[in-house]
């Protein structure tokens, strides 16, 4: 009798997995990504359109991702280095509780990057974010220039140099 129960449970488990929705596919390099990025600390919507003409770096993070918490000050330093004329780093918090997000905002006080919250996970789903860290670079023309996920600390210098190159290319591109 027990083997029959076990087989039935396994069958139900696999059937449930087969019926589950496939993970959302995010935008691909070269595509125009979703514009909505979440809400700022005042609850106002933040959009890629707010930064038209700049290179935008989107860093999806959560307070449970230790490497994400190491990455944010580095991205803030890059924002300060390259300035707001050519670059905007947007740190999108994904699904943290209001309490955890508020505590992180206190720690990020004085940062030059823009903190944004995606409490429902809707924005993360639209971008296909499933693992952390998860970093996107949107070129000044509004198209995805690059995407990195699940990288380690030793990859960050190369990623930062790629962002610097994207900013330099945007500054030397003819403007319409």
Classify residue 80 as exposed, middle or buried by CB count within 10 Å of its CB (0-12, 13-18, 19+): middle
Range of the domain at 131: 27-172
Domain annotation covers residue 4 = no
pLDDT for 74: 96
**Mean pLDDT for each consecutive 10-residue tract of the chain (176 residues)?**
50 45 78 97 95 96 94 97 96 95 94 96 96 96 95 91 94 74
Rounded CA gap, 154 and 159, in Å? 10
Measured CA to CA in angstroms, residue 115 lies from 44, 62, 65, 90, 150 at distances of: 12, 12, 16, 6, 21
pLDDT for 174: 73
pLDDT for 18: 41
CATH code assigned at 119: 3.40.30.10
pLDDT for 58: 98
Rounded CA gap, 68 and 132, in Å? 7
Domain annotation covers residue 19 = no
Asked if residue 61 lies in contact with residue 132, where contact means CB atoms within 8 angstroms, the answer is yes
pLDDT for 145: 96
Domain annotation covers residue 146 = yes
For residue 69, give the H/E element and its range. helix 66-82
């Amino acid at each position: 009798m027990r083997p029959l129960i076990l087989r039935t449970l396994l069958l139900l488990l696999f059937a449930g997995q087969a019926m589950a929705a496939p993970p959302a596919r995010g935008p691909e390099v070269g595509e125009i990504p979703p514009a909505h990025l979440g809400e700022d600390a005042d609850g106002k919507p933040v959009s890629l359109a707010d930064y038209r003409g700049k290179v935008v770096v989107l860093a999806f993070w959560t307070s449970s991702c230790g490497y994400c918490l190491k990455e944010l000050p580095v991205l803030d330093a890059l924002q300060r280095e390259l300035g707001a004329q050519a670059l905007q780093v947007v740190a999108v918090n994904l699904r943290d509780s209001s309490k955890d997000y508020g505590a992180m905002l206190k720690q990020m006080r004085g940062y030059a990057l823009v903190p944004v919250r995606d409490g429902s996970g809707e924005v993360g789903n639209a971008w296909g974010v499933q693992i952390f860290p998860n970093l996107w670079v949107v070129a000044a023309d509004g198209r995805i220039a690059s995407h990195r996920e699940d990288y380690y600390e030793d990859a960050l210098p190369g990623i930062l140099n790629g962002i610097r190159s994207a900013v330099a290319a945007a500054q030397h591109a003819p403007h319409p």
